[in-house]
Chain A
Amino acid sequence: MLGSLKGLMTTFIEFFQPVVTVQYPEEHLPIAPRWMGFPVLTWDKEISEPYCTGCMVCIRYCPTECMSATMKDNPLHTEGKSKRRKIVGDFEINYGRCIVCGICVDVCNFDAIEMSQEHELSVFARNDNRADLSRLLQLGYEYQENTGWSPTEKDQEGENVKT
């Protein structure tokens, strides 16, 4: 009966090991810095406008087509305060369709969209989990504050410096 006895000893020893349960929601497991939560839009604090210019690259590359946006002329550019000629008008992400793949972050040329660490976004109706521009910017602002995010450095030609 050696095999069964060895199995019984294994479970017996395991009885005295510390448990691995984490009692959610009182305790949380640590989240890795690279962990991809839902995408959010970032805010340029110096100029007080979103980084997003509404160029629609992320919307074209999204595999599930969960985002939509409009582009408008930037009023701050005509006043001379900002270098961005166009700025985002409306932006909506349907978090119910987003597969959290991160392609939108990869293709964005302006560091405007980032994967936050949001994961506790439950709603009661199927189509309710849509975020409009103000919610996206608010979530993005929280993400920037929590992680100290700053845009990727660009060298003189405007290319991304390799990290």
Chain B
Amino acid sequence: MFARDILTDLLGKPWGEIIGLTIELIGLLTALSIVVLSLTWMERKLLGRIQGRMGPMRVGFHGILQPIADALKLVLKEDVVPGSADKGLFWFAPLAVFVPSFMIWITIPVSHDLVLANLDMGLFYIIAFAVLSITGLVMAGWSSASKYAVLGGLRSAAQLISYEIPIIMAVISIAMMSQSLNLQVIVEAQSNIPYALLQPLALAIFLIAGVAEVGRTPFDIYFAESEIVGGPFVEYSGAHWSVFFLAEYINTFAIAILVALLFFGGWSFPLMPEISALGFLWVGLKTYLVIAVIFWLRGTLPRLRVDQLMSLAWKVIIPLSFVNIMITATYLYYGWAWPILTLISLSITVTVSYMLYRKITRPALRTLEERLAYAKSYNQSRGQSEVSDAR
């Protein structure tokens, strides 16, 4: 907004707008690249500390320059294009993945007056564009002319489409609470109570589905071990791959900042700073905390298998998201006090998690004594000779 206003004053309407917009877009791209660089550094340091080691230490003080070294290496690497690949699609697929991820950022506000274009349908726009990058992945898989890439691409498309639905549902319930799709209005409606307190179920659904959307552990089977490695990205190298890499981190940052804005109150909870820079810092802090949680999940949990991932989406997360919308609608219709919504939401989250936990772990929780007794009876029923014969 600043560049456009200044340039419009200087140059008049059409030119000032166009040049100002270009400058602001370039500025946004630069800011995002710097953020992505910082995210890669933070991830490696955080994972290192979780594992009891330091992260990068050699390149610059505590590895600060490591992301630049990584970027340089990726750009200088040879870009190998498979001989039988579909060249046009091969070149276009990274763009098809990257451009929608970047377009989301146009309407994400980072402070009460820092936003590139505040649309009234901001949330709808974000969701619509997030879905577009799925086609890019399928294009990447198909054009690589490799069996494993095609299978990986299709698998990733299935996963991403399944997890779009819970994101949309969670976001709908937020929009119902705040009566608007405009992100700035949503954030300002949380100045008393963040929506995380009101709807913990929606937060859980959005976080799980968001992590699955981005493709991070525990949901990263489609590119981290499927068939061999790589999934749809297996034939990309060098600068091409770096575009995918950039898109993944931009998506992660987008999910995190949406969590911060939609659920944790953005810049307006608990206090509304007057200076936009302070609000920007406040949002940044919350976003980086959410990102730290996402990295923490990556460092701890193993991966889900593809069918388990899909059954989790369709059997657990999507029904829960519908239940969440029903609860929110009921709450709004009857006009109850806000703790009731928290109570219902929290109780459903806890109940469903506990049911999942018991279903998965109950067969495994037999103690050693039970096992020993079982083994003794088993061996006795088959005769003692079973043990001594096996010499």
Name A's B-contacting residues (CB within 8 A): 1-4, 7-8, 10-12, 14-15, 17, 19-21, 23
B350 nearest in chain A by CB position? A1
- A2 in contact with B301 given A15-B49, A15-B50, A20-B53 (CB within 8 Å): no
For this complex, 14 residue pairs linking A to B, each with C-beta atoms less than 8 Å apart, are: A1-B353, A1-B356, A2-B357, A3-B361, A4-B300, A7-B300, A7-B301, A11-B296, A11-B299, A12-B296, A14-B50, A19-B54, A21-B54, A23-B54
New contact pairs (13) apart from A4-B300, A19-B52, CB-CB < 8 Å:
A1-B353, A1-B354, A2-B357, A2-B361, A4-B301, A8-B296, A10-B300, A11-B300, A15-B50, A19-B53, A19-B54, A20-B52, A20-B53
- Residues in A neighbouring B301, C-beta threshold 8 A: 4, 7
A16 nearest in chain B by CB position? B49
Instruction: Give CA–CA (A12, B296) in the complex, Å.
Output: 8
B301-329 with Cβ < 8 A to chain A: 301
B299 nearest in chain A by CB position? A11
Kindly provide the distance from the CB of B215 to the nearest chain A CB, expressed in whole angstroms: 19
Contact A11–B357 (Cβ < 8 Å): no
- Residues in B neighbouring A2, C-beta threshold 8 A: 357, 361
A6 nearest in chain B by CB position? B300
Q: Which secondary structure characterizes the binding site on chain B?
A: helix
B87-124 with Cβ < 8 A to chain A: none
Kindly provide the distance from the CB of B349 to the nearest chain A CB, expressed in whole angstroms: 10
Q: How many A-B residue contacts, CB cutoff 8 Å?
A: 40
Instruction: Give CA–CA (A66, B51) in the complex, Å.
Output: 41
Q: Name the contact of A19 in the complex, choosing from B46, B49, B300, B357 (C-beta under 8 A).
A: B49
Question: Is B332 part of the contact surface with A, judged by Cβ < 8 Å?
Answer: no
Name B's A-contacting residues (CB within 8 A): 46, 48-54, 57, 296-297, 299-301, 353-354, 356-357, 361
- Residues in B neighbouring A15, C-beta threshold 8 A: 46, 49-50
- Residues in B neighbouring A3, C-beta threshold 8 A: 357, 361
Instruction: Give CA–CA (A144, B46) in the complex, Å.
Output: 45
Kindly provide the distance from the CB of A91 to the nearest chain B CB, expressed in whole angstroms: 40
Contact B357–A1 (Cβ < 8 Å): yes
Instruction: Give CA–CA (A14, B51) in the complex, Å.
Output: 7
- Residues in B neighbouring A1, C-beta threshold 8 A: 353-354, 356-357
4 closest A-B pairs by beta carbon, nearest first, are A1-B353, A11-B300, A21-B53, A11-B50
Kindly provide the distance from the CB of B299 to the nearest chain A CB, expressed in whole angstroms: 6
- Residues in A neighbouring B353, C-beta threshold 8 A: 1
A13 nearest in chain B by CB position? B50
Q: Name the contact of A23 in the complex, choosing from B57, B300, B357 (C-beta under 8 A).
A: B57
Kindly provide the distance from the CB of B253 to the nearest chain A CB, expressed in whole angstroms: 22
Instruction: Give CA–CA (A23, B57) in the complex, Å.
Output: 9
Contact B300–A17 (Cβ < 8 Å): no
Kindly provide the distance from the CB of A27 to the nearest chain B CB, expressed in whole angstroms: 12
Most B-side CB within 10 Å, residue of A1, A8, A12, A20 = A1
Instruction: Give CA–CA (A127, B57) in the complex, Å.
Output: 34
Instruction: Give CA–CA (A23, B55) in the complex, Å.
Output: 11
- Residues in B neighbouring A20, C-beta threshold 8 A: 52-53
- Residues in A neighbouring B357, C-beta threshold 8 A: 1-3
Instruction: Give CA–CA (A20, B54) in the complex, Å.
Output: 8
A12 nearest in chain B by CB position? B296
B48 nearest in chain A by CB position? A19
Contact B300–A8 (Cβ < 8 Å): yes
- Residues in B neighbouring A11, C-beta threshold 8 A: 50, 296, 299-300
Instruction: Give CA–CA (A17, B296) in the complex, Å.
Output: 15
Most B-side CB within 10 Å, residue of A7, A8, A11, A23 = A11
Instruction: Give CA–CA (A10, B301) in the complex, Å.
Output: 12
Instruction: Give CA–CA (A108, B297) in the complex, Å.
Output: 57
Instruction: Give CA–CA (A1, B354) in the complex, Å.
Output: 6
Instruction: Give CA–CA (A8, B46) in the complex, Å.
Output: 14
Kindly provide the distance from the CB of A124 to the nearest chain B CB, expressed in whole angstroms: 23
Contact B361–A17 (Cβ < 8 Å): no
Contact A14–B52 (Cβ < 8 Å): yes
Kindly provide the distance from the CB of A24 to the nearest chain B CB, expressed in whole angstroms: 11
- A17 in contact with B356 given A11-B296, A11-B300, A12-B296 (CB within 8 Å): no
Kindly provide the distance from the CB of B80 to the nearest chain A CB, expressed in whole angstroms: 30
Instruction: Give CA–CA (A17, B353) in the complex, Å.
Output: 30
- Residues in A neighbouring B52, C-beta threshold 8 A: 14, 17, 19-20
Instruction: Give CA–CA (A17, B53) in the complex, Å.
Output: 10
Instruction: Give CA–CA (A2, B51) in the complex, Å.
Output: 21
- Residues in B neighbouring A21, C-beta threshold 8 A: 53-54
Instruction: Give CA–CA (A65, B308) in the complex, Å.
Output: 56
Instruction: Give CA–CA (A83, B205) in the complex, Å.
Output: 87
Instruction: Give CA–CA (A4, B296) in the complex, Å.
Output: 12
Instruction: Give CA–CA (A130, B57) in the complex, Å.
Output: 35
